[in-house]
Structure 1
Amino acid sequence: MTNQEVKLFGVWESPFSKRVEIALKIKGVEYENVEEDLSNKSPQLLKYNPVHQKVPVLLHNGKPIVESLLILEYIDETWKSGPSILPSDPYERATSRFWANLLDDKLIPAAMKFIKSKGKEQEVIDEICELLSKLENELGDKKFFAGESIGLVDIAANIVALWLDVIQEAVGTKIFTKEAYPKLFKWIDEYMNCSVIKETLPLKADLLVHFAQSGHA
């Protein structure tokens, strides 16, 4: 494909925006990053995502794609260069989608409740720990959730790789530890040491400052 216009509307602190950045970089797609201010959303963001009015939005040749997991699949299907993000086997693809959706449908809402409760609600803590245990079991002894290379679930699990530690430090209640989840922590080491991940994800210190300024800490 030539003469493509690829723009990503996102925010630097969002794990959802960073998912899309990682996928674009894995595929070697050149894009323009448009940093949004969610307290003063741009007319373009409201135009391209009128339903949810949130980031990320991928604009490809004037056509907007929204919702980060859907954008990841779109990128994988549109650009065949670079490694595949989803497996070719239908069963494995369905399984990848299941775990990626579990993160968005269960773990991320639980993490939001954890923040709001300042880490004080045992029911929320139990829910997060149960979900982390399921992820630990699914990962098993694999290097990545996708096997030997980064795939959909690994990219979707950004929140586990970085944001969850920031959240628990910000609220002052530690529930995600290397002792409790050794396989996930081994995965985090592998994941965070990949060059694309290193250059894309924000620094933990910057996220902590952002949490403090936004009133979460």
Structure 2
Amino acid sequence: MILIGQYDSPFVRRVAIAMKLYGMDYEHRPWSVFSDADKIAPFNPLIRVPTLVLDSGDALIESAMILDYLDEEAGPERAMIASAGRARREALKVCALATGLADKAVALVYERVLHKEKSQAWIDRCAGQVERVLGVLEADRASRPTPYWFGDAIGHADVAVACALRFTREAHPQMFAATRWPTLIAHADRCEALPAFTAIVQPFNPPK
């Protein structure tokens, strides 16, 4: 398998860490959607990452789709999310909040570095969404005494939150104070200390 995209993307990194935790081998092509668009386009016409090219030549083009495939390959006993029911819905909700957080954090970066004319209304809207999501995730995690979000074993929710939080903290440090979201930050830091996380990391580098 070939994983396309740079690890400073919270979406690419989330997939790569899941593959590492599953023990799945892959070739990494750290292509940028800006400087390597012509390389990505044949695999993904949207020119988005992550893109996972299977050994069959088929390309999976969105992180949730990729993770669904990886879970299938890992099998129900090893999958890092419940297979059905309320437990699955709760985990998917945390994942959706985390990926939404990352999406808004990326949008703020693009507004800052790619647009000559800034929209303060858009900046305020995205920043407000980021803060509200962080507040919801902080309260949810603080209500759970288990080592990981949904028990004793790491799951997709843990990975998604940690990757989104690292990106947001690096891209927008002015938005963070450890006293505001202490449980959430402690959770992410615990994940970041794991070998799978330390092996797959790239400092945030804003697009130019």
Q: TM-score range by the shorter chain?
A: 0.7 to 0.9
SS state of the match for residue 147, structure 2?
coil
Cα displacement string for residues 81-136 of structure 1 (whole angstroms, at most 9, x for unaligned residues): 984211234221122122212233x4234324544369x75554333221101001
1:196 — aligned with what? 196
- Structure 1 residues 163-212: Cα deviation after superposition (integer angstroms, max 9, x where no partner): 1111123xxxx22222111110210221011111111122xxx32xx22x
Aligned runs of 1:3-152 on 2, under 5 Å?
6-38=1-33, 39-43=35-39, 45-50=40-45, 52-61=46-55, 62-80=57-75, 83-104=78-99, 106-115=100-109, 116=111, 121-140=123-142, 141-152=145-156
Please say if residues 161 and 192 of structure 1, whose CA atoms lie closer than 8 Å, have aligned partners that are also in contact.
Answer: no
Contact 2:141 2:184 in 1 (8 A): yes
Q: Which runs of 5+ in 1 are unaligned?
A: 1-5
Q: Which sits farther off after the overlay, 12-21 or 158-167?
A: 158-167
In structure 2, how many angstroms separate the alpha carbons of the residues matched to 1:110 and 1:15? 12
Moved more, 11-20 or 155-164: 155-164
> Partners in 1 of 2:184 and 2:32 — Cα distance?
33
Gap runs ≥5 in structure 2: 114-119
**CA separation of 1:17/1:201 partners in 2, compared to 1, >3 Å: closer, same or farther?**
same
Query: Per the alignment, do residues 184 and 47 of structure 1 end up closer, same or farther by CA in structure 2, a change over 3 Å counting?
Result: same
TM-score of the aligned structures, taking structure 1 as reference length? 0.79
Partner of 2:117: none
* Bigger RCO (CA 8 Å, 6+ sep): 2
Give the Cα–Cα distance (whole angstroms) in 2 for the partners of residues 58 and 126 of structure 1. Answer: 32
Tell me by how many angstroms 1:40 deviates: 2.8
What is the aligned-residue identity percentage? 23
TM-score (norm. length: structure 2): 0.82
Counterpart residue number, 1:183 = 183
Report the secondary structure of 1:185's partner residue.
helix
